[in-house]
Amino acid sequence: MNEFDAAQGPREKSPVRWEIAATVLLVVSSFLALSAGIRQGGPGPEVLGRALSSVVFTLVVVGVFRLFGKARTRRSRAVIAFWTLVVLLIGQFGTVVQQVVPTIEGLKAGESLEWA
């Protein structure tokens, strides 16, 4: 693959992989936040706010990086969004584990786990 175009200089690497990965993480993160909110039995707007918090926080982080000139290209913005979502997802897994473990530990021998 030729990484240099004589007329335009070095080619930018494609950001598509980073964008797809960030989109998948965004969907998973929103789903985990939504399921955690529903499981806790919060009101509708609170549950919706939890689901949209990943989107808003990621946009704020990318915006701050753009403000300071660190996210000039589409690829760099996608990389920043990806790693921001990885950090958020790790925190959300902790929340889900805290909700599920007491349920599993509370089972007696021979009982089945009901998720509904």
Per-residue pLDDT tens over the stretch 15-68: 899 999 999 999 999 888 888 888 777 788 888 888 898 999 999 999 999 999
| 33: in domain | yes
Q: pTM value?
A: 0.72
9 sits in which H/E element? strand 9-10
| 7: in domain | no
| 41: in domain | yes
Query: In terms of residue numbers, what domain contains 30?
Result: 12-92
CB atoms within 10 A of CB 61: 18
What would the DSSP string read from start to end of 4-63? EETTTEEPPPP-HHHHHHHHHHHHHHHHHHHHHHHHHT--HHHHHHHHHHHHHHHHHHHH
Residues with Cβ within 8 Å of 103's Cβ and at least 6 positions away in sequence, in order, are: 113
Residue 113 has pLDDT above 60, yes or no: no
| 1: in domain | no
Work out how many domains the chain is built from and give that number: 1
| 109: in domain | no
| 69: in domain | yes
| 112: in domain | no
- In Å, what is the CA distance from 65 to each residue of 84, 101, 111? 11, 37, 51
| 65: in domain | yes
The confidence score (pLDDT) of residue 85 equals 95
CA gyration radius for the chain? 20
What is the rounded distance in angstroms from the CA atom of residue 81 to the CA atom of residue 62? Answer: 6
